[in-house]
Amino acid sequence: MPHIYAMGDQNTILTGLIGGGRLDRELALALPEYSRARLQALIAGGALCVDGQIVTDGSSKKYADRPFTLTLPPARPDRAAPQDIDIPIVYEDDHLLVVNKPAGLVVHPSAGHADGTLVNALLHHCKGSLSGIGGVERPGIVHRIDKDTSGLLVVAKTDAAHEGLAKLFATHDIDRRYFAIVKNIPAPPAGVIRTQIGRAPHDRKKMAVLPEGKGRHAVTHFKMEEALDKCALVSCRLETGRTHQVRVHMAHIGHPLIGDPVYANRQKTYKIGPNQSIFARQALHAAKLGFIHPITGEKLSFSSNLPDDMQELLIQLRV
């Protein structure tokens, strides 16, 4: 049985000996109060040490009878709290709203981002009137874009709108188009990328193109909009909506996004603006969003201009 002790007011540390099976299974047996999925996420996130070394492979069986420590992060509040955070709202009615999310804003609370998220801002703006289908941490959230991606996002205010939007996403009846600034000039200048996307086998924090039969089907249509200095501005239309889809697909065909800290290796540093600030995010913007209103049946279409940092990057890269 593991021993438990607290470390200050922050983390809880569990210690004990690993059994002879898979790490995640042995920990689930030793710690029945935690789900196996929860333990797998903790392991993948680097919370497990065996013999003093971090182990992230929950399927490993080579640590039998060795001492472990498992660090549990502090508990988060059951519900996200409303916070007065300014968010650009493009459209709003009684059923849904469309926001133009700035880069750097996390969509919903998660490990490492307990507050200061889009959900916290929406709860304040909507006075708590958001669809509950997404759960206490994700009220109203039908789809997401990455923290450092900017652009358009639709949010459900009612359960009926949430269910209707979810069906549109499931049947790929949402028009979503992104602008990205990528390395190298695509040749041919347009095409369709069809692959399987899933968790990278050796790094569970990353997504990757996987062999047929694994992961989930993903389709991206891309088109070069402008040739730049050894780079290009491309538009990407999504048929599917997989995690990091544009970033993974463009890197897969040899055109990683400028500034991408995960999928672009050995990146050149780009500086923008009069103060020569470093462009330090993936150059990706959700520029267009269109769908049939799930309640009224009205055809809605929204556009968002490139944010200032991507505009300044384009100026620098133009030949």
Q: Which residues lie below 8 Å from residue 237, measured CB to CB, with a gap of 6+?
A: 175, 176, 177, 220, 221, 222
Per-residue pLDDT at 9: 40
Per-residue pLDDT at 128: 66
78 domain residue, yes or no: no
Q: Which residues lie below 8 Å from residue 100, measured CB to CB, with a gap of 6+?
A: 88, 89, 90, 150, 151, 152, 304
At which of 137, 170, 203 does a domain end? 170
Residues 137 and 12 in one domain: no
Rounded to whole angstroms, what are the CA distances from 233 to 10, 107, 224, 267, 307? 45, 25, 6, 17, 14
Host H or E run for residue 209: strand 203-210
Distance, in Å, from the CA atom of 290 to the CA atom of 272, rounded to the nearest integer, reads: 31
Residues 200 and 306 in one domain: yes
In this structure, what CATH number is given to the domain that contains residue 26? 3.10.290.10
From the candidates 24, 146, 260, 309, which is the catalytic residue? 146
Per-residue pLDDT at 39: 78
Angle at 174 between CA 116 and CA 311, to 5 degrees: 60
Of 199, 261, 191, 245, the C-alpha closest to 221 is: 191
β-pair partners for 48: 70
Answer yes or no: 146 catalytic.
yes
Report residues of the chain scoring pLDDT below 70. Answer: 1-19, 32-33, 73-79, 110-114, 128, 132-138, 319
Boundaries of domain holding 93: 89-170
In this structure, what CATH number is given to the domain that contains residue 217? 3.30.2350.10
81 domain residue, yes or no: no
Of 17, 16, 21, 19, the C-alpha closest to 61 is: 21
Residues 61 and 97 in one domain: no
101 three-state secondary structure: strand
Per-residue pLDDT at 24: 81
Per-residue pLDDT at 218: 95
